[in-house]
Amino acid sequence: MVINIDYTRARELLDSLFAEAETYHPDNQLSNIAPTIVEAADRIFASNTQSYREALLGCALAKLLDRSINVSLPYASHGEGAFNGRTLDEQVINPFLNDKRIPSSRGPYLATFRRNVKFVSETASGLRDKVGYDAFLEFLNTLANADDATLRRLVLYLLCRFVWLRNAAVIPLSRIRRLSLEQLGLIIERLLQIHSGGLLPVLLTVSMLRTLKSCYELQWDVQWQGINVADAASGSMGDVTVRNEGVVLLAIEITERRIDKARVTATFNTKIMNSGIEDYLYIYTKDFPDEEAKAAARAFFSQGHEIGFLQIRDWIVNNLATIGSNGRERFTAELLTLLDARDVPAILKVAWNDSVRDTVSV
């Protein structure tokens, strides 16, 4: 009996797992992945036959959806335990890979194989890349025999490999010169919903400061550092530091965490007072600073150190509203320059492209 798949549920599950996979990094891989599977994945993703990895993803997803599926039987005509692999590819796998900007085949992955193919060792005789296919079978057989927890972990690992494949690829950014104030506000709001480890708010802040410098012909030197780099180690006063002829005008801490009194006090004692910073600014994404934090800031003002708080979206949109269409074009150009850097994760570039597409098409 052929096993039917709910393709809507399949896509929802795939999207959910992929979002989880995006939180992993090559130097922090999933635990308990056998070295033989890692080596098999290396061969599969190094193969010029892209269909191997795409077919593997389809089979893995099918097995995760229904444990009774026989992953070696991707055609309905195969009978007991078979599933419709071509429909799964056309309705779920291929659209998913395209939506996530992952390098993939243009056609269905089963087109690489002869019709009514079974994923068994005998199939290798008709394939060009037999080494890659053997690795495919090794991974596939491990999936077929895994328990529930191991199966989910293997699927996550496979998706991690797709994430890393995308990160290694060059993702062209959507180049749109002119965006309205409303469109920019929507795009910024959507970008801030992406889990970026704090990088996106920093890029948005630096873009805005550079735009202000350009529009008002200011003699600013806008310096910023990587995420999770200690200020003391880098010599910076904050995540972003604005100087004029070497003098610190403004030190900025950009945060996605709630700002409380303890944090403000610690910042004052360790950085603001010691470095003699007169203007220190917290730029936050969503969680408003609590009242005790504001009260502490007011107390430190009497000592000659002003600590301010700004919500990033409102701050950027309000500034964009006052610098005209030319200024908004400059802001877009500055942000694209920062996003286009090689070390910016692909997830952020995809987020920009998706946000622009969804906003402009409305």
Write out pLDDT tens, residues 309-342: 999 999 999 999 999 999 999 999 999 999 999 8
Nearest 5°: phi and psi at 280?
-125, 135
What mean pLDDT comes out for the span 115-133? 91
Q: How confident is the model at residue 191 (pLDDT cuts 50, 70, 90)?
A: very high
Domain C-terminal end among 168, 190, 219: 168
Enter the tokens of residue 328: 């908004």
Do 148 and 249 sit in the same domain of this protein?
no
Do 133 and 194 sit in the same domain of this protein?
no
Do 252 and 306 sit in the same domain of this protein?
yes
Domain annotation covers residue 2: no
Do 224 and 121 sit in the same domain of this protein?
no
Do 164 and 208 sit in the same domain of this protein?
no
Domain annotation covers residue 176: no
Do 330 and 240 sit in the same domain of this protein?
yes
Domain annotation covers residue 1: no
pLDDT of residue 27 exceeding 70 = no
Do 158 and 241 sit in the same domain of this protein?
no
Mean pLDDT of the chain: 91
Q: How confident is the model at residue 235 (pLDDT cuts 50, 70, 90)?
A: low
Enter the tokens of residue 308: 């301010």
Domain annotation covers residue 173: no
Domain C-terminal end among 168, 191, 222: 168
Do 157 and 192 sit in the same domain of this protein?
no
pLDDT at 234: 46
Domain C-terminal end among 118, 137, 168: 168
Domain annotation covers residue 78: yes
pLDDT at 233: 44
Domain that holds residue 87: 7-168
Q: Higher pLDDT residue, 268 or 108?
A: 268
Enter the tokens of residue 80: 């007991």
With a pLDDT cut of 70, the percent of the chain lying above it is 95
Do 217 and 307 sit in the same domain of this protein?
yes
Q: Residue 5: what residue type? A: I
Do 198 and 286 sit in the same domain of this protein?
yes
pLDDT at 195: 81
Enter the tokens of residue 213: 């410098």
Convert the pLDDT of each residue in 152-180 to its tens digit.
999 999 999 999 999 888 888 998 878 99
Cα–Cα distance, 176 to 174 (Å, whole number): 6
- What CATH number is attached to the domain comprising 290? 3.40.91
Do 53 and 162 sit in the same domain of this protein?
yes
pLDDT of residue 26 exceeding 70 = no
What is the number of domains present in the chain?
2
Do 210 and 350 sit in the same domain of this protein?
yes
